Amino acid sequence: MFEKVNPSHPDKVADRIAGALVDLAYTKEEKPKIAVEVLIGHGVCNIIAETSVHITDEEAAAIVHRIAGERILSNYVEVPQDAHLADNQADGIHCGDNGIFKGMPVTAEQRRLTDIAKFLYGVYGCDGKYILDCDRLIICQSNAESGHLRETYPDAEVNPLGDWTGGTDVDTGATNRMLGSDMADSVTGGGLHGKDLSKADVSVNVYAWLKAQETRQPVELCCAIGDDTVDGRPYAEIVEICRNFIDSVGGFEKFAEWGLVR
């Protein structure tokens, strides 16, 4: 059983805005320290960023308008990172979080649903949520004619409440609220999006997931803030593995669109 949402789902819009702000931070500083929370809905986008680099209100608003629409009011609040957390990285790259992480191999069912979600997003380009449980397929696609969808997927349950219009006027979105869609059977104590590479919530999650795909076995890891090694590897090496993955998908904003299960 697996649920997938597309990049226009309100929670994914929040993830994408957070990711875009992290991308921007990396253009300003080689190793920024940033953690972003986004809550968006009903015409307003509230953003709190704990960051070592300054992002202007205008830069934040430009990202919000590009991703969520020009009529959204952007409320950006910026504060410095906690001094103790900043000191943790002062003499090199150390684990930036306490955390538990479980990477799991992606199943054929999960890949199939992701392919369906990507296809429908390519057709409609708007808010959608999809569930696959063995042979039971549920499609909730906004701004679509249900009859046409039933022709394409005759065995699916399509828009059970009827045709609908989605987006942030229908539902609110928040950062890291769709980790089931992003990670499938993998498990984390934190969140994937809106954080720099030093944060274990990003780097160790990505590392555990990649290792699980390579070994086809579950990978369970834990770490404490300040650790220099995780899974017997230097933490700096794990950060670079994560950096390469994020770069390969096009950056933090693009990573946020589909998560790890892409």
Architecture in CATH of 10-105+174-254: 2-Layer Sandwich (3.30)
Question: Distance between CA 128 and CA 120 in Å, rounded?
Answer: 8
Cα–Cα nearest to 76, from 38, 29, 26: 38
Question: Distance between CA 111 and CA 209 in Å, rounded?
Answer: 15
Greatest extent of the chain over all pairs of C-alpha atoms, in Å: 61
Q: pTM for this structure?
A: 0.96
- The tokens of 221 are what? 């890891």
For residue 97, give the DSSP letter. S
* Sign of the CA dihedral running 214, 215, 216, 219: negative
> What residues does each domain of the chain span?
10-105+174-254
pLDDT tens track, the chain, 262 positions: 999 999 999 999 999 999 999 999 999 999 999 999 999 999 999 999 999 999 999 999 999 999 999 999 999 999 998 777 776 676 677 787 889 999 999 999 999 999 999 999 999 999 999 999 999 999 999 999 899 899 999 999 999 989 999 999 999 999 999 999 999 999 998 999 999 999 999 999 999 999 999 999 999 999 998 899 999 999 999 999 999 999 999 999 999 999 999 9
Q: Cα 130 from chain centroid? A: 17
Question: Distance between CA 247 and CA 259 in Å, rounded?
Answer: 13
223 forms beta bridges with 99
- The tokens of 239 are what? 């950060």
Question: Distance between CA 183 and CA 258 in Å, rounded?
Answer: 9
